[in-house]
Amino acid sequence: MTAVIILLIVVAAVVLFVISIYNALIKLRNQVKNAWSQIDVQLKRRHDLIPNLLETVKGYMKHERDIMENITKYRSQAMDAKTVGEKAQAEGLLSGALGQLRIQVENYPDLKANQNFLALQEELTSTENKISFARQSYNDQVLFYNNKIQMFPSNIIAGMFNFKEEEFFEVEDEKEREVPKVSFS
């Protein structure tokens, strides 16, 4: 009789332990998802801003056709990307092309004085900042989640319920990470 009771207690303890780890994993996974959606909102916002920007810039910049074509191309690539890795790569290229555009703006004083352009410029700068801050917090969350999946004993439960590691949002090329040093004043 006592043996049965002890056995029951042990089984109950194990079940409770598994449940608590399972819930912790779910919570972490949701946090990763939430952090990702934060990035996604900002990426969408950037995609929405680009057509407006190109429209404003077009009248002034007659000689920078290839930069603008690149921006359009990378934008549509980024919008079609499915996995985190693909998306990170396409967005990195898009950031690079936008950076080139900023450097060229220096040669067009009229454009730099255009109120509409300045407003768009501010929105774009802010959106890029938001993307990079959101990326930071997404990567933090992924790190927590992946650690939990790899470490004992939660790795057993993660394996049982098929929790998969998440991908970091990393910009491949170091150069793309650099913000171009340009003055807009």
Partner 1 sequence: MWELIQANKRRSVVLFIALGATLLLLGYFIGGAYFPDGGGFIGLFFALIIWGILSIVSYFSGSKIMLAISGAKEVTKEVHPQLFNIVEEMKIAASLPKIPKVYIINEEAPNAFATGIKPEESVVAVTAGLLARLNRDELQGVVAHEVSHIVNRDVLYMTFAGIMLGSIVLISQVFLRSLWFTGGRRYSSRSSGGGGQAQLIIMIAAIALAILSPLLAQLLYFAISRKREYLADASAVRYTRYPEGLASALEKISDTSIDLKTANKVTAPMYIVNPLKPKGRKLSNLTSTHPPITERVRILRGISGGANYIDYQNAFNKVKRSKSTLIPSSGLTDNAKIGIREGVIAPVALGLNKKTKREMGDIMMKVNEYSFINCKCGLKIKIPPDYKQETLFCPRCGRQHQTR
Residues found near partner 1 in the complex (CB under 8 A): 38, 115, 119, 122-123, 125-126, 129-130, 132-134, 136-137, 140, 143, 178-179, 181-185
**CB–CB of 94/71 below 8 Å?**
yes
Residues in CB range of 47: below 8 A, 6 or more apart: 75, 78, 79
Give 110-127 as a DSSP string.
Answer: HHHH-HHHHHHHHHHHHH
| Nearest to partner 1 of 77, 114 (CB atom) | 114
The minimum distance between CB 134 and partner 1, in angstroms, equals: 5
The minimum distance between CB 120 and partner 1, in angstroms, equals: 11
| Nearest to partner 1 of 127, 157 (CB atom) | 127
**CB–CB of 149/158 below 8 Å?**
yes
Encoded amino acid at 89, one letter: Q
The minimum distance between CB 43 and partner 1, in angstroms, equals: 13
| Nearest to partner 1 of 63, 181 (CB atom) | 181
Please list, residue by residue across 42-51, b when 16 or more beta carbons sit within 10 angstroms of its beta carbon and e when fewer do.
bbeebbebbe
| Nearest to partner 1 of 21, 134 (CB atom) | 134
The minimum distance between CB 62 and partner 1, in angstroms, equals: 25
| Nearest to partner 1 of 48, 140 (CB atom) | 140
The minimum distance between CB 69 and partner 1, in angstroms, equals: 25
**CB–CB of 141/28 below 8 Å?**
yes
